[in-house]
Structure 1
Amino acid sequence: MNYFHLPLEEWTNSFVNNWLIPVLGGFFNHISHALSTFINAVTNALVSIPPEIIAIVLILLAWRAAGKGMALFTLIGCLYLGSVNLWDGAMQTIAVVIVSTLLSILIGVPVGILSATNRVIDKIVRPILDFMQTLPSFVYLIPAILLFGLGGVPAVISTFVFATPPAVRMTSLGIKQVPGDVVEASRAFGSTKKQLLFKVQLPMAVPTIMAGINQTIMLALSMAVIASMIGAPGLGSTVLSGISTVNVGLGLTGGLGIVVLAIVLDRITQGFGQKV
């Protein structure tokens, strides 16, 4: 059925080539430079720290958050990353995850608060989140490459877009789930909207917000292989190299490294989230 032709492709290309890049290209260059500086600083810091120190910190965090069994798994995982020469790649992946997760939290949590406290904003934000979550992750790479080129910056941007929705949704859900009688009691004692939010709703919503942050970290890590297609450093590039050269062993080695990071980060954040 082809009754009429909608020139969406032509409109989009015309908008990008004739307005977006010429008008806002400098703005995106500034963002790219700032993010690149931040990513390089985090990466250099993680790579320059002796692996033994980072391993000890991770083991202690795992012990505190999830117990001795998880601490043992973290020890084995760190030994594995070192034994197959993937430690630097793991630190590069963690750097991308840290930067993208920080961006997701800094933007996602405030938007979630606004969404929970304002119905108009909630109606606007909800379809945007649906769009972000249902759009195939590969589609994020196209505007990221177009506006930021190749490397760690477009990887962080695409990962940020992919991983932010859980932070927004869980923050909004946590605030909305605060019992109504608690809210009414707080208002009865004369709490202002600001006091109600920061002294009652947010503290009670922290476990749910932490669950959202946990999901954000997992989604950010799941983008490691996809983001490597646009130049993201780390374990994803190892897996991509194994795929492109049909090297099963290399792909398995890098894939197991991502699994180790995913399990360790998941258990640590999940454990601390449950203890808050």
Structure 2
Amino acid sequence: MSENWLPDLGKALQQAVNRAVDAVVTGHGDSLDGLSALLTAPVRWVEAGLLQLSPPVGIAIVAGAALLARPRPFFVLGMAALPAAIALLGVWQATMQSLALIAVAVLLVAMLGLPLGIMAARWPRLSRVLAPVYDLMQTIPSFVYLIPVAMVLGLGRAPALIATVIYALPPFARLTELGLREIDRELVAASRALGLSGRQTLWLVELPLARPAILQGLNQAIMMALAMVVVASMIGAKGLGEIVLLGLQRADPGLGFVGGLAIVLLAILLDRMAGAVLARGKGR
């Protein structure tokens, strides 16, 4: 049965999106360049600092952080072995570039997700509005919004940073809200009865009690940000994803394997370190 009688809404939507992107680019080109520079500046600063770290210094910093998070010899040695393995693979610089993007993205996620989680926990109506938005942010393929963002802001770090934040924000905001909702309300009432203001109760009672859930959300955000490394390379972001992409483009499986292995090692490092901090936050 012919379906030619159906209207082609897809083509109309395609043309509407193209017109909207063209209008934004042509009408606000200078402002968009400034926005792109503003977004990429923190990534450049962090990247410049990380690139100053030689592998021995980086390994020593990781070992020291592991010792503070979980003072156990095998854990410290295991964490130090991971950046050492990355350095031996010859991808130290690319790893620092990826780590810079992840660090800035997770910082932005925390800055946006914490107030969103607090407000959603306070106002159930806002929570109901945000829930489908979070679902869309996590279920829509990243390329759906990555392509127009890249066209608006240009290739490079800026669209990669935005895409990473969009993908990593929902778990952090949701777990922050969940942690605040699960607090014993009697403790909150008692703090208010002792004369604490609403803001003091939030910072001195509610957020400390919700700390395990917030840290768990931060751990999830780190893993989500790391998952965007390869995708980010496709729009010009430097780092380990670029190595994997070059391996694919050059039909060089060995190069792709090296980049992929380095991503796995970095993921294990970040996950175990975040888990140690989380366990410390729970008082174990």
- Measured against the shorter chain, the TM-score band is over 0.9
Distance in 2, Cα, partners of 1:113 & 1:25: 35
Matched, 1:64 2:92: no
Deviating above 6 A after TM superposition, structure 1's stretches of 4 or more consecutive aligned residues are none
TM-score, L = length of structure 1: 0.93
| Alpha-carbon spacing, 1:245–1:142, altered in 2? closer, same or farther (3 Å) | same
The answer to whether residue 20 in structure 2 is matched with residue 4 in structure 1 is: no
Is 1:212 matched up with 2:217? yes
Q: Which residue of 2 aligns with 1:200?
A: 205
Judge conservation of contact 2:21–2:152 (CA < 8 Å) in 1.
no
5+ long unaligned stretches in structure 2: none
Look up the match of 1:256. 261
User: Which residue in the other structure is 2:141 paired with?
Assistant: 136
> Which one-letter code corresponds to 1:264 in the other structure?
L
Are residues 55 and 108 of structure 1, via their aligned partners in 2, closer, same or farther at CA, if it must alter by over 3 Å? Answer: same
Q: How far apart are the structure 1 equivalents of 2:27 and 2:134? A: 27
Deviation at 1:166, TM superposition (A): 1.2
SS of the residue aligned with 2:234? helix
Residue 87 of structure 1: aligned partner: 92
In the alignment, which of 36, 42, 45 is matched to residue 38 of structure 1?
A: 42
Give the superposed CA RMSD: 1.7
Count, aligned residues:
275
The answer on whether the counterparts of 1:109 and 1:168 sit within 8 Å (CA) in structure 2 is yes
Residue 200 of structure 1: how far off its partner (Å):
1.4
Q: CA deviation at 1:267?
A: 1.0
Match of 2:51, as an amino acid? V
* Runs of 5+ unmatched residues, structure 1: none
> In 2, are the aligned partners of 1:235 and 1:257 still within 8 Å (CA)?
yes
- Per the TM alignment, residue 252 of structure 1 is displaced from its structure 2 partner at its CA by 1.1
Name 1:14's counterpart in structure 2: 19
User: How far off is 1:65 after superposition?
Assistant: 2.4
1:4 is matched by which residue type in structure 2?
Answer: P
Most deviating of 61-70 and 247-256: 61-70
Q: Is the 8 A contact 2:171 2:217 kept in 1?
A: yes
The Cα shift of 1:11 comes to 2.1
Percentage of matched positions with identical amino acids:
37
Residue aligning to 1:154: 159
Q: How does 1:167-178 map to 2 (within 5 A)?
A: 167-178=172-183
Deviation, structure 1 residue 203: 1.0
Match of 1:48 in 2: 52
Matched, 1:236 2:278: no
TM-score, scaled relative to structure 2:
0.90
